[in-house]
Amino acid sequence: MSTAKPESYKSTCSYCGVGCGIIVNKDNKGRTTVEGDPNHPVNRGMLCSKGMNLHYVVEDKSDRLQYPQMRWGKSHPLERVDWDTGLNRAAAVFKSIIKKHGPDAVAFYVSGQCLTEEYYLVNKLTKGYLKTNNIDTNSRLCMSSAVMGYIKTLGEDSVPIAYEDIELADCFLVAGANPAWCHPILWRRVEKHKEENPDTKIIVVDPRVTQSCSLADLHLQLNPGTDETLYLAIGRCLIENGDIDMDFIQNHSDGFDAYKELVMETTLESAAATCGVPAEDIQLAASYIGDAKGFLSLWAMGLNQSAEGVNKNLALIDLNLITGHIGKPGSGPFSLTGQPNAMGGREVGGMATLLASHRNLLNPEHRQEVADFWGVDSLPDQPGKTATQIFEGLEDGSIKALWIICTNPLVSMPDARRVEAAMKKAKFVVVQDISAKAEAIPHADLVLPAAGWGEKEGTMTNSERRISYLNKFTDAPGEALPDAEILLRFAKKMNYSGFDFPSMAEVYAEYCQLTKGTNIDISGLDYDYLKSNGTVQWPFTDKNKGGTVRLFTDKKFYTPNGRAQILANGPRNKTELLSEDYPLILTTGRIRDQWHTMTRTGKVAKLNKHIPSPFLEIHPEDAASRNINDGETVLISGKRGEVRVHAQVTTKIKKGVVFLPMHWGKILQNDFPRTNNLTGNGIDPVSKQPDFKFSTVQVAKYVKP
């Protein structure tokens, strides 16, 4: 029976950072379907398997949190309470802890899936009003090394390219990324471009043979952790071949002489031995880049999730700088963001080490500008605790209260058992989530139900600086509220002024004004413009209506002297050393049809069919020496824990290396232990990003006790 008029809404996919445009259709019974927006500049109507199944996640509310719940004491069960009771308690506990132990005794841990408005509010709340910079995000786990790579070389965290550069490039270096599975629609564009232009060269650098390799002209299957040596060796070849841009080097950059000296320290043969790839393949990669008119370097977690992630970023970005491939069509360094709004979070300063609109947290004038804008005296002057440091703070007692929003740290953080133990020491934990299955809930003193995708409005920014408006098209279940609304209510309970926003449009308008005069100025933007005109790439000002496709076209960079910085450091030691007990390198990553810790994609039967259970990729020789056959259950043990999965014996992985997908937690999937029981605490000293790509383990056939 017909009950309502069919309706259509525009939105943006809530999974990866590609940011595909979606049209949501609701039929006259209120049932939802989704399709790719044919007019969207990102995906031109295409959607990948995750995006085209989003409606199942929207419609299935069976596992959703619907009401606030609270524990009256640590040993008490969670009980349903009303919003006022829950938030009054949160405010009372936060006030008491701050009074007794100071503001740095509390922390917020949020997510690259938060909308920009939510990110903005939680930053204003913590940095401006709670007076702590202890606000970090799970984006710390995926792209903080890229943020620092850009800041150090280009002056600010500014992705210089646009997706339309894909169709203008004739050489791609895909480094530590598997976009065919993890950024599928972007990769479809690369595939189509290669089909139409067969001379386009694609180089893939990865210790595994991934789906992306099927399009590659050259696969450099390097030893894990040796990326920096490889890019420096390619740099040396480019210099020796004369394939560098001396005009750019001399007139628009600094640091080339020191870079040249460093790359000349290592011979091609020695680099080839370190990386485990043929010297002639390094030469071939250099010749592809040297011959290119448009050269794009694409990278993701393989570089970022490393104890030397920033150095790896620098070494890769240097290849674009020494060849002058930046600020022109088809060229540039292009970090792929994993989460849908990791970029929006970076823009509003949504990390313990950042300040809004690319201002510098360590600069007193910048802090005062933001403080004045927010109407507060000052902002804390030292960086706050980053993701891993927050949980260390719980462990050592320096952090007493933690508020987790839209992320699942007991599955996604490295050394997950340590994180679990740390959570048990917390005086007060708030878990604000959509899913009743979030693994942190058993540790929560207060559980707050949040609205999900499509149940609230707001904006996000994708990997190419493109801002989209997301429509609300359905109601949240029960009493669940948008994350922004929860934060506004909490701020009021804390008696803070500055949080009286009649609508999300007003929150966004305030953030846009804070960007005025900065290099990411969007002060001319508002919801009305986005709703009427679609997406835009920042910066976007009154003078620059329509946004900015490509940055640095004038070769003026955001560094103090306006010149790009060619920077490189020699490779350092890895997080862990191989030993007799743990002779294999474990690297972790994603699979095609799952997202993060599976709280959404794990609900979709169609997506679970692709790869239904966790597995360990192991090379045939490593398997044979351990008497392991394909499909058998194996026990993977490391210094921090164990994981039990079935073996996938394959030459797709290098000998001496094993691979586990990162998605499976212990509650969702029949008690399969978490992959992150095995990963370690090594972090990059500059970006504080954890290393998920180099842990040492042993593997044995599993024998039932």
Q: Does 607 bind ligand SF4 (CB under 6 A)?
A: no
Per-residue contact flags (x/-) with ligand SF4 for residues 87 to 126, judged by CB under 6 A: ----------------------------------------
- Cβ 605 to ligand SF4 shortest distance, Å: 18
How do beta strands 536-537 and 695-701 pair?
A: unpaired
Stretch binding ligand SF4 (CB under 6 A), from 11-19, 76-84, 313-321, 468-476: 11-19
Is 18 near ligand SF4 (CB under 6 A)? yes
Of residues 43 and 389, the one with the C-beta less far from ligand SF4: 43
Least separation, in Å, of the C-beta of 277 and ligand SF4? 30
- Rounded to the nearest 5°, which phi and psi values hold at 616? -120, 120
Q: Which is nearer to ligand SF4, 164 or 392 (CB)?
A: 164
> Judged by CB under 6 A, which of 11, 20, 117, 235 binds ligand SF4?
20
Nearest-approach distance from CB 336 to ligand SF4, in angstroms: 10
Half-sphere exposure of 574 (CA within 13 A, CB side): 20
Do residues 137 and 111 touch, judged by C-beta distance below 8 A?
yes
Helix (H) or strand (E) holding 316: helix 309-322
Please, which residue, 334 or 374, has the CB nearer to ligand SF4? 334
Q: How far is the CB of 308 from ligand SF4 (least distance, A)?
A: 28
Report if residue 324 touches ligand SF4, rule: CB under 6 A. no
Residue 458 DSSP SS3: strand
* Residue number, 11 or 637, with CB nearest to ligand SF4: 11
Site for ligand SF4 in 43-72 (CB under 6 A): 43, 47-48, 50-51
The reply to whether 13 sits near ligand SF4 by the rule CB under 6 A is yes
Minimum distance of ligand SF4 from residue 13's CB (angstroms): 3
User: Which residues 6+ apart lie within 8 Å of 183 measured at CB?
Assistant: 16, 17, 18, 177, 300, 336, 463
Binding residues for ligand SF4 restricted to 463-492, rule: CB under 6 A: none
The reply on whether position 16 binds ligand SF4 by CB under 6 A is yes
| CA dist., res. 559 & res. 360, Å (int) | 12
Shortest distance (Å) from residue 184 CB to ligand SF4: 5
Q: Within a 10 A sphere around the Cβ of 661, how many other Cβ atoms? A: 18
Site string for ligand SF4, 174-203 (x = CB under 6 A): ---------xxx------------------
Q: What DSSP character marks residue 690?
A: B
**Nearer of residues 212 and 357 to ligand SF4, judged by Cβ:** 212
Q: Specify the residue, 21 or 68, whose C-beta has the smaller distance to ligand SF4.
A: 21
User: How far is the C-alpha of 10 from the C-alpha of 23, rounded, in Å?
Assistant: 5
**How far is it, in rounded angstroms, from Cα 519 to Cα 300?**
24
- What residues have CB less than 8 Å from 142, skipping those under 6 apart? 112, 300, 301, 304, 305, 337, 338, 339, 342, 689
Pairwise CA distance, residues 85 & 511, whole Å: 30
Q: Which is nearer to ligand SF4, 185 or 410 (CB)?
A: 185
- DSSP run (H or E) holding 621: helix 620-624
The reply to whether 166 sits near ligand SF4 by the rule CB under 6 A is no
How far apart, in whole angstroms, are the C-alpha atoms of residue 382 and residue 375? 20
Rounded Cα distance, 457 and 505, in Å:
9
CA distances from 547 to 357, 416, 464, 544 (A): 16, 42, 12, 6
Cβ nearer to ligand SF4, comparing 183 with 346? 183
Closest distance to ligand SF4 from the beta carbon of 607 (Å) = 11
Distance CA 621, CA 601 (A): 34
* Residue number, 274 or 407, with CB nearest to ligand SF4: 407
Q: Which residue minimizes CB distance to ligand SF4?
A: 51
Q: How far is the CB of 125 from ligand SF4 (least distance, A)?
A: 29
CB of 434 to ligand SF4, least distance (A): 18
Burial 573-602 (b: 16+ CB within 10 A, else e): ebbbeeeeebebbbbbbbbbbbbbbbbbbb
Q: Which is nearer to ligand SF4, 182 or 512 (CB)?
A: 182
Q: Which stretch binds ligand SF4 (CB under 6 A): 13-21, 125-133, 163-171, 284-292?
A: 13-21
Please report whether residue 430 would count as binding ligand SF4 according to CB under 6 A.
no
Q: Which residue has the tokens 């910079």?
A: 133
Shortest distance, position 185 Cβ to ligand SF4, whole Å: 4
Stretch that binds ligand SF4, among 10-18, 129-137, 193-201, 439-447 (CB under 6 A): 10-18
Residue 590 C-beta: closest distance to ligand SF4, Å = 11
In the complex with ligand SF4, the residue whose CB is nearer, 180 or 450, is 180
CB of 23 to ligand SF4, least distance (A): 12
Please identify which residue in 11, 19, 389, 680 interacts with ligand SF4, judged by CB under 6 A.
19
Q: How far is the CB of 686 from ligand SF4 (least distance, A)?
A: 29
Rounded to 10 degrees, what is the CA torsion of 236, 237, 241, 243?
Answer: -80
Residue with Cβ nearer ligand SF4 (50 or 574): 50
Residue 327, token pair as written in the block: 């600020």
CB 125 within 8 A of CB 422: no
Run of H or E residues at 345: helix 342-347
CA 99 to mean position of chain CA atoms: 34
Total residues interacting with ligand SF4, rule: CB under 6 A: 14
Residue whose tokens read 């039932």: 704
| Spatial distance between the Cα atoms of 32 and 6, rounded to a whole number of angstroms | 10
| C-beta closer to ligand SF4: residue 60 or 265 | 60
Residue ranges that bind ligand SF4, judged by CB under 6 A: 13, 15-16, 18-20, 43, 47-48, 50-51, 183-185
